[in-house]
Amino acid sequence: MSPEDVRVVAVVVDGKQGLTRLSAAAVVPAPTGAVAEVTEPDKILRWVWTGLDALPAELFEPSAGVLAAWRQDLDVPAHEAHRYRMA
């Protein structure tokens, strides 16, 4: 994948429990044969590639925020945040 393949679509800022979080979302071509790998098993249970029509009901809040900023038509859990969509 080259840098030209990466398209930043949104930046989301929220503040939970006094902590400011900034999350950015980028769209890249679907990986062929790629395996999602957990590199921080003490923090993350699993990574899974899914289609937009098969998103899990429970999402990490910043992930839900960037998905909602990118595609308002997606049925994702509400996430209180400031959303900045990119052109």
Q: Using the CB atoms, write b or e for 4-38: b if 16+ within 10 Å.
A: eeeeebbbbebeeeeeeeebebeeeeeeeeeeeee
Give the model confidence (pLDDT) of 24-42 as tens digits: 888 888 777 878 789 999 9
pLDDT at position 42, please? 94
Give percent of the chain above pLDDT 90.
9
- Tokens for 31, please give them: 């990986």
| E strand segments, 1-87 | 7-16, 19-27, 82-85
- Which residue has better confidence, 81 or 18? 18
> Band of the pLDDT at 87, cuts 50, 70, 90?
low
Domain range list for the chain = 3-84
Query: Reduced to 3 states, what is the DSSP secondary structure of residue 44?
Result: coil
CB 22 within 8 A of CB 10: no
- Which residue has better confidence, 38 or 84? 38
Evaluate if residue 1 carries a pLDDT over 80. no
